[in-house]
A = this chain, B = another copy of it.
Amino acid sequence: MTATIKDVAREARVSVASVSRALNGTGGVTPATAQRVREAAARLRYVPHSAARSLITRRTHAVGALMPDLHGEFFSELIRGIDLEARSHGLHLLVSSSHNGTEDAAAALRAMQGRVDGIVILSSPRVDAEFLKANLPDGLPAVLLNSDVRAGAVVLNIDNFAGTYAMVRHLVGLGHSRIAFISGPKDNFDAQQREAGFRAAMGELVPKAPLRIVAGDFGEASGYQAGLELLASKTRPEAVFAANDMMAVGCLQAFKEAGVDVPGEIALAGFDDIPIARYVTPPLSTVRVRIAELGKNAMDLLADLMDRPGLSAASVHTLGCDIVVRESCGANRGGAAASTSTSTTKKIRDPSNR
């Protein structure tokens, strides 16, 4: 059926060994014969059998991406970043997404055993340290994304802390001090870090302001509820900072229905910069996460790890966020230029320029 290395060898009148050497660019072959082999291979449309190669090489030239069941932009951008970088490393990408339970993820992990040379794992609350210890085939290079596992692994995190901190600084710079926070799910790693960043920033920047935190779950409805709750309180906040954009959007809706002007009466900010953020009215100020870059960096870390011998150096890396200033926080009325606040966290002016 399909041509094999023997066919090429016969066609080029050399041994299979020479064909292998010529095609792989391993030395030890004359330019002339290399050329002859290449021609023969092209003539026969020869493409090496990857399984046979993997069998002896112990390398699959593929990496896996394991992620929980998530929709939308985050998923696609992450895959995009990983895929692009993987291809530039000559690697294939095996995707296994949409896992809910631990046993689901464990099965996927097992199934990837031997099919990939490394793996990028996007953590969910269920996928924690002991889960990985139990299910991750040891010796398999892995990079963990947004994980609180700190022991013996390579971890790459979004700098949620710095992001929230910078946004609080921005809001404070605008003159607000009574800033309320809508938090995310208790078991979510990003949510925890964002709340921590908020607490730290408030404590350091406006230490005498009251700390108001209302619970949310990253869903739009919980943001709406939080908005109602905040409106009902005796002293309304000057600004509301939601731990993600969906909640900010829900909160905005509550404000709108109550006839509260944003940002006139209350300023509003979110986190993530989902596409919707720039299309609500007023456009939402938020913290942008460069997700594709997160994927790219994860893939780079993984590639490094795979080149390394067995030595898997544990390390923690972070990827900075950008403050994107639109109208919902009230800073963008005039034409003030953007300024950089941190080395990793840039401030961007984005006047909903659709």
- List the interface of chain A (C-beta within 8 A of B): 1, 47-52, 54-55, 60, 62, 71-73, 75-77, 79-80, 83-84, 87, 92-98, 108, 110-115, 139, 220-221, 224, 249-250, 253, 275-276, 279-281, 354
Contact = CB atoms under 8 A, between A and B. Distances in A.
A227 to B, nearest CB: 12
7 contacts: A48-B114, A49-B114, A62-B115, A80-B98, A93-B94, A95-B95, A276-B279
A80 B220 CA distance: 22
A343 to B, nearest CB: 28
B279 A249 contact: yes
Complex copy number for this chain: 2
Contacts of A84: 98
Given A80-B75, A80-B97, A250-B354, A51 B47 contact: no
Contacts of A276: 275-276, 279
A292 B72 CA distance: 11
A76 B83 contact: no
Contact of A51 (B87, B114, B139): B114
Contacts of A72: 72-73, 76, 275
Residue picked from A72, A112, A281, most chain B C-beta under 10 Å:
A72
A83 B95 contact: yes
Given A76-B76, A276-B276, A87 B92 contact: no
A238 B61 CA distance: 57
A51 to B, nearest CB: 4
Contact of A60 (B51, B75, B80, B354): B51
A166 to B, nearest CB: 26
B71 A97 contact: no
A220 B49 CA distance: 46
A71 B84 CA distance: 13
Contacts of A139: 1
Contacts of A113: 47
A280 B47 CA distance: 51
A108 B73 CA distance: 24
Given A47-B113, A92-B112, A249-B279, 18 more contacts: A47-B110, A51-B51, A51-B55, A51-B60, A52-B55, A62-B94, A71-B80, A79-B79, A83-B96, A87-B98, A87-B108, A93-B94, A93-B96, A94-B95, A95-B95, A221-B354, A250-B354, A279-B280
A275 B274 CA distance: 10
3 residue pairs, one from A and one from B, having the closest CB atoms: A51-B54, A76-B76, A75-B76
A303 to B, nearest CB: 17
A113 B92 CA distance: 12
Given A92-B96, A96-B93, A250-B354, A77 B83 contact: no
Contact of A92 (B47, B80, B111, B281): B111
Contacts of A354: 220-221, 224, 249-250, 253
